[in-house]
């Protein structure tokens, strides 16, 4: 078992390069199974546990995987031998549900274990199922797995009841090879949704409107391999922006798309931080005391739920009261129980956290209760007095590549230790 040990009190300074987006990569890898001929060469894939897990699932389905380097994979899905994704790995991660849409599109049949993922609330897949059924699939859930089959898939108009990243991408995958046109309404507009659509179009799909409220997909007869590079990770970038502000540092975050970070930049500016945007970088500095602000998470282009937890750490140690309202997940304040062990003044009422900034946090032994909560606790350790030890860091490794190395390069005192 490993833990991260952070000795607080540093000021982060320097440059940090952002990796490819986790939530784009974990959809693009399953989407590669749609190529019935040719290989997909995918670059800028983050070197994280969720990606390693997907590589193993792809292999178990019969895909050829050639790891060109730590961030580049060649996937040959031309000879898939199985439509059965029922392993412990599938159960462990969320994005494995993209194999349902992908296998359904290409083979008209799939059996995929129900997905796991971060314990941040009930995570239904009813909107995915609604979309598959509208395209003509029969969907059953038995023995903990989703089974889908269809004689053929036919384009349909589908209006999602909730804005869902997963359902938008999954039904988009299923519709790429359907007969006729599919129109998806009330879709998610996150940058990773657009990235997956761009990837599918590079494979020969005909998808228009990704990034708006309506996506139109004209079914094509087959998709082929392509070369593609994953977009930079909006959430990893946001995490470093917040860490920079929290330590009153001077950090330039490179390989980012500043437009994707606007809601985070706007909140940091409202708090008093200085944000300078370049073409593909953002510099965060602080020259005066920061003040509390209110945060309400929302689908893109709103404030991302995945940044709410790191942001609440920063808010716990600035002057004044902040109110953080989580509208996407019903259970995404668990990290605040850990933060209280470090001296934070927080009251959680349902989905709302009321935070009164304190003068100081003090190091403690805390848990990474989920992925983003783990990154949040690293930031807490950086701004606390003394030593913080973070347990259950396998959550962090699922989504942040080489987190301790990156923080160390910015001047943090952070190490990974092994404990029995």
Residues that bind ligand EPZ (CB under 6 A): 22-23, 26, 94-95, 118, 120, 122-128, 162, 164-167, 188, 305-306, 328-329, 371-372, 399
- What is the smallest separation between the CB atom of 386 and ligand EPZ, expressed in angstroms? 28
Q: Is 123 annotated as contributing to ligand binding?
A: yes
Radius of gyration of the chain (CA): 21
Instruction: Return d(Cα 97, Cα 27) in angstroms, integer.
Output: 9
Active site residue 118: yes
Instruction: Determine which one of 118, 226, 281, 391 is catalytic.
Output: 118
* Residue of 372, 271, 257, 397 whose CA lies nearest to 322: 271
**Of 106 and 128, CB closest to ligand EPZ:** 128
**Of 139 and 384, CB closest to ligand EPZ:** 139
Instruction: Return d(Cα 387, Cα 380) in angstroms, integer.
Output: 11
Q: Is 106 annotated as contributing to ligand binding?
A: no
Omega before 301 within 30 of 0, i.e. cis = yes
- What is the smallest separation between the CB atom of 67 and ligand EPZ, expressed in angstroms? 22
Instruction: Return d(Cα 5, Cα 416) in angstroms, integer.
Output: 6
Q: Is 126 annotated as contributing to ligand binding?
A: yes
Helices 234-246, 305-315: axis angle to 10 degrees equals 0
Q: Cα–Cα distances in Å, from 349 out to 122, 293, 352?
A: 18, 18, 5
* Residue of 313, 320, 307 whose CA lies nearest to 366: 313
- What is the smallest separation between the CB atom of 192 and ligand EPZ, expressed in angstroms? 6
Would you give the end-to-end CA distance of the chain in angstroms?
Answer: 6
Q: Is 124 annotated as contributing to ligand binding?
A: yes
**Of 77 and 146, CB closest to ligand EPZ:** 146
- Report the residue number whose CB is nearest to ligand EPZ: 166
Q: Is 216 annotated as contributing to ligand binding?
A: no
- What is the smallest separation between the CB atom of 138 and ligand EPZ, expressed in angstroms? 18
**Of 10 and 257, CB closest to ligand EPZ:** 257
Binding residues, as ranges, are 22-23, 94, 123-127, 306, 328
Binding residues for UDP-N-acetyl-alpha-D-glucosamine, as ranges, are 94, 123-127, 306, 328
């Amino acid at each position: 078992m490993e833990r991260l040990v952070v000795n607080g009190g540093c000021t982060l300074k320097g440059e940090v390069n952002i990796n490819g987006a986790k939530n784009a990569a974990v959809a693009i890898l399953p989407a590669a199974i749609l190529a019935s001929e040719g290989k997909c060469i995918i670059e800028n894939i983050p070197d994280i546990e969720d990606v390693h897990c997907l590589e193993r699932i792809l292999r178990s389905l019969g895909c050829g995987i050639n790891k060109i380097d730590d961030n580049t994979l060649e996937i040959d899905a031309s000879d898939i031998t199985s439509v059965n994704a029922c392993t412990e790995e599938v159960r462990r991660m969320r994005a494995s549900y993209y194999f349902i849409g992908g296998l359904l599109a290409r083979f008209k049949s799939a059996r995929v274990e129900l997905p796991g993922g971060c314990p941040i609330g009930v995570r239904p897949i009813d909107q995915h199922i609604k979309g598959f059924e509208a395209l003509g699939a029969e969907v059953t859930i038995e023995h903990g797995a989703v089974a889908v089959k269809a004689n053929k898939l036919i384009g349909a108009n589908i209006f999602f009841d909730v804005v869902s990243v997963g359902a938008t991408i999954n039904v988009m995958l299923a519709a790429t090879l359907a007969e006729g046109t599919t129109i998806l309404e009330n879709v998610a507009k996150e940058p990773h949704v657009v990235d997956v659509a761009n990837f599918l179009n590079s494979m020969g799909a005909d998808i228009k409107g990704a990034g708006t409220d309506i996506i139109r997909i004209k079914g094509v007869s087959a998709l082929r391999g392509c070369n593609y590079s994953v977009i930079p990770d909006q959430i990893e970038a946001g995490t470093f922006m917040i860490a920079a502000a929290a330590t009153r540092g001077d950090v330039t975050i490179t390989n980012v798309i500043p437009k994707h970070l606007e809601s985070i930049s706007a909140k940091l500016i409202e708090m008093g931080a200085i944000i300078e945007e370049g073409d593909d970088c953002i510099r965060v500095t602080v020259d005066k005391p920061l003040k509390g602000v209110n945060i309400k998470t929302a689908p893109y282009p709103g404030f991302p739920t995945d940044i709410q937890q790191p942001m609440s750490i920063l808010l716990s140690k600035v002057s004044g009261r902040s109110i953080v309202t989580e509208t996407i997940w019903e259970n995404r304040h668990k990290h605040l129980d850990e933060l209280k062990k470090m001296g934070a003044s927080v009251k959680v009422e349902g989905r709302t956290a009321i935070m009164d900034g304190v003068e100081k946090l003090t190091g403690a032994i805390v848990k990474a209760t989920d992925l983003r909560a783990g990154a949040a606790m690293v930031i807490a350790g950086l701004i606390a007095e003394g030593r913080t030890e973070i347990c259950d860091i396998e959550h962090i490794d699922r989504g942040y590549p080489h987190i301790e190395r990156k923080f160390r390069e910015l001047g943090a005192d952070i190490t990974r230790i092994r404990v029995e």
